[in-house]
Amino acid sequence: MKLPSPVYSLYENRLRASLDPERMPRHVAVMCDGNRRWAKEAGFTDVSHGHRAGAVKVAELLQWCDDLGIEIATIYLLSVENLERDASELDLLLDIIGDVVEEISRSNSNWRVGVVGHTWLLPEPLAARLQAAQDASKDNTGT
């Protein structure tokens, strides 16, 4: 269930106020999982709706990290097992991942993109997009 925007803003503010600035982590790591399941449970026949919704949440997560002074955010976007999905779903998912990583590198934030993992398993167009995003943000400090 999605909370209405004013209610969600109050919820976010309450969460933020409950955090102890003295105990704020420098690094958070998130495994993006369940977007396809969420889309199916929400009644979408096209699971890319779930992947797109997850992409929006990545942007929100990074904004929260910025707001809270968290310096490093590791975001696990794709597992090797995901590469075995149906080609039509996989193509959409890989395109969304490319969009997310490019947006992070282009944004007005100071995030530095670092791509890790078995990148040789990725289709060349996506690998090139990820490398370009990494190169574009290489001078950012990540804070």
User: Could you read off the pLDDT of 64-94 as tens digits, one per residue?
Assistant: 898 898 989 999 999 899 899 989 889 999 9
Q: Tell me phi and psi for residue 106, to 5 degrees.
A: -90, -20
Summarize the confidence of residues 94-110 as an average pLDDT. Answer: 88
pLDDT, residue 36, reads: 86
Pick among 3.40.50.11810, 3.40.640.10, 3.40.1350.10, 3.40.1180.10: CATH of 22-136: 3.40.1180.10
Angle among Cα 49, 54, 59 to the nearest 5 degrees reads 130
Would you place residue 2 in the very low, low, confident or very high pLDDT band (cuts 50, 70, 90)? low
pLDDT, residue 140, reads: 86
Which of the two residues, 38 and 4, has the higher pLDDT score? 38
* Residue whose entry in the numeric block shows the structure tokens 């990074």: 62
Full-model pTM: 0.82
Catalytic residue numbers read 33, 82
pLDDT, residue 143, reads: 59
pLDDT, residue 41, reads: 92
Cα–Cα distance for residue pair 130/134, rounded to 1 Å:
6
As a three-state string, the secondary structure of 30-84 is EECCCHHHHHHHCCCCCCHHHHHHHHHHHHHHHHHHHHHCCCEEEEECCCHHHHH
Burial class (CB in 10 A: 0-12, 13-18, 19+), 137: buried
The mean predicted confidence, pLDDT, of the chain is: 88
- Could you report the per-residue pLDDT of 23-45, keeping only the tens digit for each? 999 999 999 888 889 999 999 98
Domain ranges of the chain: 22-136
Which of the two residues, 45 and 8, has the higher pLDDT score? 45
